[in-house]
DNA sequence: CGTACTATTGCGCAATCCGCAATCGATTTC
DNA sequence: GAAATCGATTGCGGATTGCGCAATAGTACG
C-alpha cells in the first residue's frame, strides 16, 4: 500500500496503515487479520491499536476493532473546502429532490477527483459514492471536464502519466480517443460518464467556476444507466450556476 | 489535554494532539503555533506533521497546516452507527423541511452525547452543531432523557461523578432538581433544553427505541429559543417513530 | 476436558525518534 | 539595499522508545 518513504515517522505510517485496513474491512476486525493486512507483527499492531484506542481514533468491541468516533469529529472539521460543502448542500439537496437521483460534489486533487459530499435519494436502487473516496479523472464525468480545462498537452501528459487504466470495457484507455472526447465535453459544457467507472452506472457532470473562471468544484448526478435522462443537463447546469453565485 | 498513560505509544499521542490542535484552529496554522499548542518541540512537531502529510492525514498550504482529506474518508467510514445514520438522514431532512430548524441525531457514549449527524435548514440564523462533537448529558434535551432511562440511582451517580458543571445560568447544577426534572421529562416522553447548554439556544428532544425498548439514539430540534414552538413535539415524536420503524 | 487458536505481556536489544543547535529562507526594518 | 528578525528545516549523536521474540493468558470449540 503505502511505500516506505525515507522521511517518514514509522509509527505514523503504521498507524495510518492500520486505519486504512480498518476502513477497508467494514465492521469489526480481529487483531490477527489486521496484523496480516498491514504486514505488522501482531504484538506491534496490538500496541499501536491500544494507543489509538486510548486516543479515540479506534474503538474496541470485545477484541475486535473499528474506526473510532474521534475520526467523525476530525472528519467533520476538515477545513479544506468547508465553505464549498456548506454552500453546496442545499443546492445538492434541491437538485436531488428535483431529479430523484444521487448528486455528488467533487474536487480535483492531483490526478483524481475526491468526493466531498453527496445527496442521496430515497430509493431502493441508487448510486452511492463514499465521501472522501477517490476516482481517476478519465473515468468520471467531472474528471473529464477537469482534464479538458488545461490545454490538450495537459490531458496527454495525464494519459501518459497514468497509462489510462481501464475499469470497465467502456473506459477510455486510448490517449487519442480520450483527447477527442474530452474536447467535445468541454465544448458542450457538460460530460457524460457512460459506465466508464463502473458497469451499470451513468453520470452527468458539470463544473462550478468562480467569477474569474477558476474551477471550484464539480457537480454530478449518478444513476443506474438505464434511468439516466438527457434533460437533467439543464437543471444540473442551473444548480452549478446557483452554487457559483452562492460562493461568489 | 490527554494524559500520558503508561501503555501508550508516544508518537500516536503526539499525532492525535496535533490533529486535535489542527481541529481546534480552523483553517491554516503555522508550525510554531502548533508546537506551542501541543507543547512539542518545533522540530518534533515538524517531523510528525511531515509524516502525517505524507499519509494524507494533514494537508499543507505553504507552510501552514490543515486537516487532510484522508480524514474525510476515514470519518465517513466510521462504521459505528452507520445504519443508524443512513436510515436517519431522510427522516431528519423531512423533519427539518417541515419545521425549518436544525435537526440533530445523537447517541450516548459514557457521560456524553455525541452528535452523529444533523440536517441544517436554509436560514440566516440557525443552530449548528458539529458532527462528532460532544456535550454532557445533563445540559441537552436528549441527554436528560437518557439519564432518565436507568433508575434514579444512575442519574444520581452521574450527578456525583460529573459534579454537574454549569454552562449557562439555566443549567441544572443541583442533583435534586435534576432528578426531579428528568423524571418529569421521561413521563412526558420528550424533553426541552431551555438554554441549558448555550444561552439563546433551545431544544426539544426525544429518544428512538428499538422494538425491545432499547435506546438506539436521540433525535432533537435545535433553534433560537424565541423561535421554538411547543407544537414541534408531535412531528418530532412521529419522526422518531418512523426512524424506529426503519431500523426495526 | 483437552486442544487449538488468538490476544496479551515481560524483556532486552537496537532502531527510532528526539532535542539541540546550526542553517536556510522569507519578510521586515532602518 | 543591507541587516536583522523570525519561523521553517535539517544534521547529528545520544537515549528513549518501540520492537520482535517467545512465553502466558484467555477463549472458543470439539
Whether residue A38 is found in the same domain as residue A121:
no
Residue A7 grid coordinates? 522521511
Whether residue A117 is found in the same domain as residue A163:
yes
pLDDT of residue B85: 92
Nearest-CA distance from B246 to chain A in Å? Answer: 12
> pLDDT by residue (tens digit) across A174-221?
999 999 999 999 999 999 999 999 999 999 999 999 888 889 999 999
Residue of A7, A11, A109 lying closest to B12 (CB–CB): A11
Residue of B8, B82, B130 lying closest to A54 (CB–CB): B8
Whether residue A113 is found in the same domain as residue A147:
yes
What gap in Å lies between CA B147 and CA B112, rounded to an integer?
10
What gap in Å lies between CA A126 and CA A223, rounded to an integer?
6
* Cα A120 to Cα A134, A215, B90, B242, B247, distances in angstroms: 18, 24, 9, 18, 18
Nearest CA in chain B to A133: B73
Q: What strands, in cross-sheet order, belong to the sheet with B134-136?
A: B134-136, B112-119, B102-109, B215-224, B201-209, B191-194
Residue B3 has pLDDT above 80, yes or no: no
What gap in Å lies between CA B131 and CA A70, rounded to an integer?
10
Whether residue B91 is found in the same domain as residue B157:
yes
> Quick one: pLDDT band at residue B63, thresholds 50, 70, 90?
confident
> pLDDT by residue (tens digit) across A143-166?
999 999 888 999 999 999 999 999
B1 in a domain, yes or no? Answer: no
Chains A, B: CB pairs < 8 Å = 174
pLDDT of residue A233: 96
Whether residue A42 is found in the same domain as residue A116:
no
Q: Which residues of B touch A116 (CB under 8 A)?
A: 72
Instruction: Provide long-range contacts, Cβ within 8 A and 24+ apart, for A160-169.
Output: A161/A111, A162/A111, A162/A136, A162/A138, A164/A138, A165/A136, A167/A136, A167/A139, A167/A196, A167/A197, A167/A198, A168/A195, A168/A196, A168/A197, A168/A198, A168/A199, A169/A199
Nearest CA in chain B to A78: B67
Does residue B200 belong to the interface with chain A, where contact is any CB pair within 8 Å?
Answer: no
Whether A44 sits with its Cβ under 7 A from any strand C atom: the answer reads no
Average predicted confidence (pLDDT) for chain A: 90
Number of domains within chain A: 2
Whether B23 sits with its Cβ under 7 A from any strand C atom: the answer reads no
CATH of the domain at B25: 1.10.10.10
Residue B30 grid coordinates? 503555522
pLDDT of residue A2: 37
> pLDDT by residue (tens digit) across B206-240?
999 988 888 999 999 999 999 999 999 999 999 99
Q: In chain B, positions 44-83, which contact chain A (CB-CB < 8 Å)?
A: 47-48, 50-52, 54-57, 59, 66-80, 82
DSSP state of A44: H
**What are the backbone angles phi and psi of residue A44, rounded to the nearest 5°?**
-65, -50
> pLDDT by residue (tens digit) across A226-243?
999 999 999 999 999 999
Q: In chain B, positions 154-183, which contact chain A (CB-CB < 8 Å)?
A: none
Interchain contact, B7 vs A51, CB within 8 Å = yes
Whether residue A155 is found in the same domain as residue A56:
no
pLDDT of residue A60: 85
Whether residue B153 is found in the same domain as residue B42:
no
Interchain contact, A72 vs B48, CB within 8 Å = no
What's the average model confidence in pLDDT over B43-61? 88
Q: Are B116 and B217 in contact (CB under 8 A)?
A: yes
pLDDT of residue B61: 83
Q: Which residues of A touch B70 (CB under 8 A)?
A: 16, 132
pLDDT of residue B24: 85
What's the average model confidence in pLDDT over B67-88? 89
Q: Are B45 and B66 in contact (CB under 8 A)?
A: no
**What are the backbone angles phi and psi of residue A117, rounded to the nearest 5°?**
-165, 170
Residue B121 has pLDDT above 50, yes or no: yes
| Nearest of A51, A77, A8 to residue B21 by alpha carbon | A77
How many angstroms separate the first and last alpha carbons of chain A? 40
A72 in a domain, yes or no? Answer: no
A184 in a domain, yes or no? Answer: yes
Collapse the DSSP code of A235 into the 3-class scheme (helix H, G, I; strand E, B; otherwise coil) and give the result.
Answer: helix
A153 in a domain, yes or no? Answer: yes
Residue of A23, A77, A114 lying closest to B69 (CB–CB): A114
pLDDT of residue A143: 96
Name the residue range of residue A179's domain. Answer: 77-246
Instruction: Show which of B67, B95, B115 is a domain's final residue.
Output: B67
Range with lowest mean pLDDT among A138-142, B57-61, B182-186: B57-61
> pLDDT by residue (tens digit) across A89-114?
999 999 999 999 999 999 998 899 99
Instruction: Show which of A20, A49, A67 is a domain's final residue.
Output: A67
Note the CA–C1' distance, A32 to C5, in angstroms.
11
Whether residue B19 is found in the same domain as residue B116:
no
**What b/e sequence results for B198-235 when a residue is b if at least 16 CB atoms lie within 10 Å of its CB, and e otherwise?**
beebbbbbbbbbeeeeeebbbbbbbbebeebeeebbee
What gap in Å lies between CA B16 and CA B7, rounded to an integer?
15
A20 in a domain, yes or no? Answer: yes
Residue A248 has pLDDT above 90, yes or no: no
Collapse the DSSP code of B122 into the 3-class scheme (helix H, G, I; strand E, B; otherwise coil) and give the result.
Answer: coil
CATH of the domain at B137: 3.30.450.40
Amino acid at each position: 500500500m503505502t511505500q516506505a518513504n525515507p522521511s517518514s515517522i514509522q509509527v505514523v505510517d503504521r498507524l495510518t496503515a492500520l486505519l486504512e485496513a480498518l476502513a477497508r474491512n467494514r465492521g469489526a476486525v480481529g487483531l490477527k487479520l489486521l496484523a496480516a493486512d498491514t504486514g505488522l507483527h501482531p504484538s506491534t499492531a496490538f500496541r499501536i491499536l491500544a494507543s489509538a484506542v486510548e486516543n479515540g481514533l479506534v474503538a474496541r468491541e470485545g477484541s475486535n476493532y473499528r474506526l473510532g468516533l474521534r475520526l467523525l469529529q476530525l472528519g467533520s472539521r476538515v477545513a479544506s473546502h468547508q465553505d464549498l460543502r456548506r454552500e453546496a448542500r442545499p443546492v445538492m439537496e434541491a437538485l436531488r429532490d428535483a431529479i430523484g437521483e444521487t448528486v455528488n460534489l467533487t474536487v480535483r486533487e492531483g490526478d483524481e477527483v475526491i468526493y466531498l459530499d453527496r445527496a442521496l435519494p430515497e430509493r431502493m436502487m441508487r448510486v452511492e459514492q463514499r465521501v472522501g473516496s477517490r476516482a481517476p479523472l478519465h473515468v468520471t464525468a467531472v474528471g473529464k471536464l477537469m482534464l479538458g480545462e488545461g490545454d490538450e498537452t495537459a490531458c496527454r501528459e495525464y494519459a501518459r502519466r497514468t497509462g489510462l487504466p481501464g475499469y470497465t470495457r467502456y473506459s477510455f484507455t486510448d490517449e487519442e480517443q480520450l483527447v477527442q472526447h474530452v474536447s467535445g465535453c468541454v465544448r458542450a459544457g457538460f460530460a457524460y460518464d457512460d459506465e466508464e467507472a463502473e458497469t451499470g452506472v451513468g453520470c452527468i457532470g458539470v463544473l462550478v467556476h468562480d467569477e474569474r473562471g477558476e474551477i471550484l468544484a464539480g457537480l454530478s448526478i449518478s444513476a443506474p444507466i438505464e434511468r439516466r435522462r438527457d434533460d437533467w443537463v439543464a437543471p444540473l447546469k442551473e444548480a452549478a450556476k446557483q452554487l457559483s453565485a452562492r460562493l461568489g
